[in-house]
Structure 1
Amino acid sequence: MDGAGVVRWRATGTVRSLVWDGEDLVDRVDGGRRWTSDGVEHLSGRVYAYPFDRAVVSPSGRYTVAYTERGTKALLLDGRRIVRELDRSYYHAKDFDYPVALGALSDGREVLVHCPETYEVIEVEDVATGERLTHGERTPTDVFHSRLAMSPDGRRLLSAGWLWSPFGIARVYDLEQALTEPAALDGEGLLPSWSWANAEIEAACWLDGDRLAVATGEDEDEDAEADEGDPAVLGPRQLGVWSMSERRWLHRHRVGLPMGTLIGHGRTVIALCAYARLIDVASGAVLAEWPEVEVSPRVGSYGVRHVPTPVAALHPDGSRLAVAQPDGIAIITLPQPASSPP
């Protein structure tokens, strides 16, 4: 153990994805390489010929998509069995993160969400059968979708992508509506653009089925600074919490450092940028930080110079965070907040 609440496990090679399986950790990109609860590494004996470097896992743990963050190829896996190959458009693929998510709809069906034909059109497929669920006329806008994430209740979809300039944005879509009206996945969606119009969105994540945490970057527009006094608008270098049901910012706070990659953790977010921090979303206060757990300084979903996204996994019970390190895995024991309203 080094530092308060940090344990390190060794790895024989680069850790490219992490998911908790009970008290074990698994790297699905590496064919199921596993670290048991005693920190001992167990190799899978399976190697993919293509250089996949990231993975997402379905809520049940059954399905995996292994993909190349800045490439066009991916694999859909059922356990260790290859179901089929996936693709995305080559257009600027080397400049922004592969848009893909696995999740469960409100009726329990697990689905694959990705952009298989063009960068601006999101499709939803039944992961078990491969059936496309979004058939119909589409009216896409020129959005580079990225960092797709379904809400925990399966009702909504987040896309933290960008517009040509480039400029980071966020879109939220109604998945239930999209199953009958696929064009609901096009356009502005449920997060109004006026709510953050003068601030570039660098990161976003779900806190629960209703609340969305959003982090913005700096803005050279002098008028943007005035938005900090407007409770309806998220200004530059702020962390905000948007309520989908109330259609307003519940909290907005100025933050001094880039948020990088966000992971929702109840009334807090974990920010991964250069190192790990735990931030209270209601006050904007840093509750804990671990500068000894270094991660990439990645900000946003796009960039000509590729800085890889940090690899991390929050334990389902919220007690621990596993973070990939150059020589293994750091496991952080998270402080548990006192009981209070969100």
Structure 2
Amino acid sequence: MREIHRAQVQVADAKSLIWAGGELVDVSAGWRPIPLDGSTAPSRFGPYGPQFDAATISPLGDVAVLMATAGTKALVLGPDGTVRREINRSYYHAEAYRYPLTLCTMEDGRTGLVHCPSGYNRLDVEDALTGQLLTTGESPEQADIFHSRLMVPASGRYLLSAGWVWHPWDVVVVYDLQEALTDRSVLDSWRGSFDLTDLSSTEVSGACFAGDDLVVSTSSEDEDEELMRLSLADGGFRWRRQLDRTAGDLLPIAGDILSVHEFPRLYSGEDGELLAEWPDLATGRSGTSIVWDKTFSGPARVAVDEAGRRFAVTDGERVTVIHLG
């Protein structure tokens, strides 16, 4: 894919962008639509609060969540921005790293919410709208992982956490999400459901899914940085690419991979080839889940519309939408 068209509009204090029903929305500003023709549209509500600075929306578009990236509070919203409930995570080092949360579609068609409501190292799955806990039972002990940058593929089969462990060290763990719904201890393992030993020698700067494969970017002072695609089905690498710079956080887009460290770069999902880059669109440093007060960076500045083959980038004053084809 390549850029075939772009739109750019001025939007003061634009952040926490999502695509909702094909429309670009600034959630924290009170569900403010952002028309791409340069016109203005009123917010549906008043601002939710200055602490909220990142948002995500479910694959079905029926639930959105607005988060305080380096805080403990998040709001679960309906498809029109109405607050349905409030949720929390552990205060323990919450000021240091990105809020661990993702939305997914469950086998029964409901939207699931994966987050850490009872401990920084304990993952749970809930019905997103009702809060019904879907991962029940107790485990003897949870692995000492600070979960962050959670993601579930469109199939709903797996869950990845690209968080960190002391000292600190960025890691990636992948779980069998369907198995976890019948045995929650699956979510408490150091290794997860798959042996990712080959990825343990360097820090993980970002991770995402390409279909049901795992794509990982690494960063190391002593070794070359890499982008690689790993088959979870057989444990083998489909391809590995040496990089001349950190790819950082990764987002899937129509079969390809968008890296968002410093500025967006588009890599082929087929072989890892660099397809396009946009150095004029600053996204800030985004090579770790640990962000401290630099929360307005990386995925917090970007909203991907996979169905529309486009993505939006905000710098807080202007919004640029890149259309791909």
Partner of residue 58, structure 2 = 58
Task: Give the whole-Å Cα distance in 1 for the aligned partners of 2:248 and 2:196.
Answer: 21
SS at match of 2:77: strand
Task: Give the whole-Å Cα distance in 1 for the aligned partners of 2:270 and 2:220.
Answer: 21
**Amino acid in structure 1 at the alignment position of 2:282:** E
Partner of residue 28, structure 1 = 27
Deviation at 1:92, TM superposition (A): 0.7
TM norm structure 2: 0.91
Partner of residue 252, structure 1 = 240
**Amino acid in structure 2 at the alignment position of 1:316:** E
**Amino acid in structure 2 at the alignment position of 1:9:** V
Partner of residue 212, structure 1 = 214
Q: Name the stretch that deviates more: 37-46 or 103-112.
A: 37-46
SS at match of 2:281: strand
Taking every aligned residue pair, what percent have the same amino acid on both sides? 35
**Amino acid in structure 1 at the alignment position of 2:261:** C
Deviation at 1:218, TM superposition (A): 1.2
The answer to which structure, 1 or 2, has the higher relative contact order (CA under 8 A, 6+ apart) is 2
Deviation at 1:179, TM superposition (A): 1.1
Task: Map 1:7-22 onto structure 2 (within 5 A).
Answer: 7-11=7-11, 13-22=12-21
- 5+ residue gaps, structure 1, are 226-235, 337-342
Task: Give the whole-Å Cα distance in 1 for the aligned partners of 2:291 and 2:50.
Answer: 23
SS at match of 1:263: strand
SS at match of 1:89: coil
**Amino acid in structure 2 at the alignment position of 1:168:** D
Deviation at 1:19, TM superposition (A): 1.9
SS at match of 1:94: helix
> Once the two structures are superposed, what CA deviation does each residue of 1:168-222 show, in whole Å capped at 9, x if it has no partner?
10111111111110011111113323121211111001111x11110000143xx
Task: Give the whole-Å Cα distance in 1 for the aligned partners of 2:266 and 2:291.
Answer: 26
Task: Give the whole-Å Cα distance in 1 for the aligned partners of 2:221 and 2:193.
Answer: 24
- 5+ residue gaps, structure 2, are none
Task: Give the whole-Å Cα distance in 2 for the aligned partners of 1:22 and 1:131.
Answer: 26
> When the two structures are aligned, how many residues end up with a matched partner?
317
Q: Sort the Cα spacing of 1:278 and 1:26 in 2 relative to 1 into closer, same or farther, 3 A.
A: same
Is residue 157 of structure 2 the alignment partner of residue 189 of structure 1? no
Task: Map 1:260-275 onto structure 2 (within 5 A).
Answer: 260-275=248-263
**Amino acid in structure 1 at the alignment position of 2:130:** T
> Once the two structures are superposed, what CA deviation does each residue of 1:47-89 show, in whole Å capped at 9, x if it has no partner?
2235211111122222121111001111112233222211111
Partner of residue 105, structure 1 = 106
Deviation at 1:303, TM superposition (A): 4.3
Partner of residue 311, structure 2 = 321
TM norm structure 1: 0.87
